[in-house]
Structure 1
Amino acid sequence: MSHVTPQATPSSASSLPAPDPSLGPSRWRVAGRQITTGNAIISVFAVLAAVLVGSIMIACTDKDVQEAAGYFFSRPGDTFKAIWDSVSGAYIALFQGSIYNFRADSFAKGIKPLTETLKFATPLIAAGLGVGLAFRAGMFNIGGQGQLLMAAAAAGWVGTSVDLPAGIHMIAAIVAGLAAAAIWAGIAGFLKARTGAHEVIVTIMLNHIAVYLLAWMLATQGVLQAPGSKNPKTAAMADTAVLPQLLGPQFKLHAGLILALIAVAFTWWLLERSSLGYRFRAVGENPDAARVAGINVGRMYLFAMLIAGALVGIAGVSQVQGTVTSGFGGDIDAGIGFDAITVALLGRSSPIGILGAGLLFGAFKAGGFAMQASQGVPVEIVLVVQSLIVLFIAAPPLVRAMFHLPDPDRKRRKQQRRQKKEASA
């Protein structure tokens, strides 16, 4: 039997619709390119790259891996098994210490790690919003430490030295803390608006001033030091000034989380829906163009720092009125002021992104202790992972090269090179 290969006839070929080049790429291809070239995917892959590097460090510091590596060439399978056991065990411990503990004998104990994550994330979210808002307005607010300390000092003084009815006392302490942090940040905004002083230098100096000012307050009777005590620590917060517990006394999760979520919603509305937020973004994109358009750039700097300071102040009041209600010392900041910079960078200064970044870093803080306790993983590795996240976020070309992501500026650079060649010809 002979086989006849069908041939395409001209009529059949012409009946097929030819692609219209004017239509351009499909919407799915456009959407895929927007996803792979956007800022969000860089943050995701920055976290993934940092976790991979952290896995290498976990394996290298594990004693079983080091022992198995000594006879790698005779039994390589033992080394790979030891690496898998150390890395998987560490991240399982991280999950059980930050999300849910499957080994707990009750549901309440099982979700306790999640409540710890939310507790650690609360001040990071609030402080990250303060840093991110300043970023959107074109300023680098690294004064979160000083603003948090001043908020803690003001809220602590109202909570320990002022006698007010329940409810009113709590609100008064919150308002005092937010006002103190806003004023402290407003100093940097005012100096930048009036004198052109760089906010980085000013906020660094204000951080140092806040640290020593709080130390003096804690060592002075009648200011913040507990009556009859010589220790640099405040008295316990009055019960009427303490933030209520959200899930009962068996958990440490308090209403500061509600304040942080309200701050996320407010910041999103401010930046995306209000005219003031539009002016903030215009100044942040191009202050000269904003000035030509009639926007008072100096006033925007001042307003942005005032609001940013108040947002950081939420972190301070949540610390003294919710987390450390038995009295606090000079270490109340706990590194939150500087961790907020990392949270804002990872969240790309977006309120929703900062919320996710704060939850991630809260999980790192809560789960890091579980990794150390159950697997013997040094808790410093978690800090290294956090630092690597900042490193990768600061180098988007490196992340794109590692994961073969498309470069959004590649076409523009090609066009510029083509135009230069045409101009030179």
Structure 2
Amino acid sequence: MSRQPLPPWVDIGLIPIVNVLLAFVVVGLIVLAVGVNPFTAVRIMVTGAVGYPEAIGYTLYYTTNFIFTGLAVALAFHAGLFNIGGEGQAYIGGLGVGLVLLAFDSSLPALPLMALAVLAAAVFGAAWAAVPAWLQAWRGSHIVITTIMFNFIAAAVMVYLMVNVLIAPGSMSPESREIAASGHLPFVHELLAMAGITMGQSPLNLSIVWAALCCVFVWVFLWHTPWGFELRTMGHNPSAAIYAGVDIRRMTVLAMCLSGALAGFVGVNEIMGVHHRLILNFTAGYGFAGIAVALMGRNHPVGIVLASLLFGMLQQGGAELSFEIPAITREMVVVIQGLIILFCGALANLTKPAFERLFAVLRTRSTRAQASAAEA
């Protein structure tokens, strides 16, 4: 029986949901093996993620970072480029945010200062991605190798700067001085309080609005502009793109720069929105998790938002779970995330053949029923 393409709602929507459910079945067996009721664990995790206003704020705060890095990976992937340097690009993007805020927080008003900091995040992140892009386009260096090595270089640069250059005077911890209030993004709970709405304190800030705007930008750019069409053509068939007159080198650099800029916006959420100072390791693995988010979201902004929300819930709910049940450690929460990545990434097509056979049978029955009705 020949297999035909699945409907988009099955391929993009239903199959990822089934894969997530399978991952949770395996997770449930692991949790049961350590002597914990899986249903109790799920209840605690869900309650810890969305059960009260403060938890929702933390979940959305984590979701914001996953959106930025997921979009970064997805945009490059549409160009046929596997950008796994989001961690380093986010790091350097945050450095750009911190440098602008530290330099101008005492001389610029709040709105121009924030706009300049967001621009710096994009420019620094894009610049860090531009070097691997140039090496790929003009020297043939593989983008996977160069981007992952640039993650280590970014970490080393940040350590040097924080320890020797940007450290606050008299501080024993490698962090900069606190940024003035004019460089702080408003917290959502503070804005809601001004409107008379009470919400528990959380790190959620207005960068979530910027993340939503970035989703719209990526959608418009990829599917409604000539550059996006060229970029996707290059990703599907480079030879056809070259034949059609697409400058592969230019599109490689453009895709990677936009990808790096999106990853750099993690610094907006972390430096300008939460920590209000430059610190080490503020990226916390978001760049690598963005790969899983993009895979699970099928490289589409809507899917990335949903996948980011799931990973945000796992991040916040997992912390609550490890606190309430000591037998489930933070490492086991990482295992849960890893299994979801496994089923939605490496095993993404595990259930697809079964769905293809099912829909082939349904199509055959429908065709026979229509033929019988026509004969009658």
The TM-score range, normalised by the shorter chain, is 0.7 to 0.9
Select which of 20, 29, 33 maps to 1:56.
29
**If the length of structure 2 is used for normalisation, what is the TM-score?**
0.87
CA–CA distance in structure 2, aligned partners of residues 254 and 35 of structure 1: 34
One-letter identity of the residue aligned with 1:192 = Q
3-state secondary structure, aligned to 1:225? coil
- Aligned equivalent of 1:187: 131
Name the aligned partner's letter for residue 167 of structure 1.
L
Distance 2:228 2:129 in 1: 18
In structure 2, distance between residues paired with 1:408 and 1:59:
32
Q: Partners of 1:116 and 1:154 in 2: how far apart?
A: 25
Q: 1:115-194 counterparts in 2 under 5 A? A: 115-162=57-104, 163=106, 164-194=108-138
1:227 is matched with: 169
The equivalent residue for 1:281 is: 232
Residues 94 and 271 in structure 2, CA contact (< 8 A), matched pair in contact too: yes
Quote the offset at 1:245 in angstroms.
Answer: 1.3
Matching residue within 55, 71, 76 for 1:113: 55
Equivalent pair of 1:151/1:181 in contact (CA under 8 Å) = yes
Are 2:86 and 2:288, in contact at CA under 8 Å, matched by a contact in 1?
yes
Consecutive unaligned residues of structure 2, counting only runs of 5 or more, are 194-200, 362-376
What is the aligned counterpart of 1:89 among 23, 40, 44? 40
Cα distance, 1:122 vs structure 2: 0.5
Offset at 1:407?
Answer: 5.0
CA gap of 1:410–1:190, structure 2 versus 1, over 3 A, is: farther
Asked if structure 2 preserves the Cα contact closer than 8 Å seen for 1:37 and 1:407, the reply is: no
Find runs of 4+ consecutive structure 1 residues off by over 6 angstroms: 408-411
Instruction: Mark the CA change 1:175 to 1:49 in structure 2 (over 3 Å): closer, same or farther.
Output: same
Cα offset, 1:396, TM superposition: 3.6
Q: Is the 8 A contact 2:266 2:283 kept in 1?
A: no
Kindly tell me the number of residue pairs found equivalent between the two proteins: 345
Superposition deviation, residue 112 in structure 1: 1.5
Matches within 5 A, 1:62-73: 62=35
1:172 Cα deviation after fit: 1.4
Contact 2:185–2:273 (8 Å) recurs in 1: yes
Larger radius of gyration: 1
Per the alignment, in what secondary structure is the counterpart of residue 110 of structure 2? Answer: coil
1:239 equivalent to 2:190? Answer no
Which letter does structure 2 place at the counterpart of 1:340?
G
Report deviation, 1:247: 2.2
TM-score (norm 1): 0.77
**Could you list the per-position Cα deviations for residues 95-130 of structure 1 after superposition, in whole angstroms to 9, with x for gaps in the alignment?**
111112xxxxxxxxx221111100011011011100
Q: Does 2:156 correspond to 1:206?
A: no
Once the two structures are TM-superposed, the CA of residue 409 in structure 1 deviates from its matched residue by: 11
3-state SS, counterpart of residue 237 of structure 1:
coil
More deviation, 177-186/233-242:
233-242
Gaps of 5+ in 1: 1-29, 66-85, 101-109, 412-425
Contact in 2 for aligned 1:50/1:388 (Cα 8 Å): yes
Write out per-residue CA displacement over residues 125-182 of structure 1, whole angstroms, 9 at most, x where no aligned residue.
0111001100011000000111011011111122123232222112211111211001
Aligned letter for 2:313? A
**Identity level (%):** 33
- Larger relative contact order (Cα-Cα within 8 Å, sequence gap ≥ 6): 2
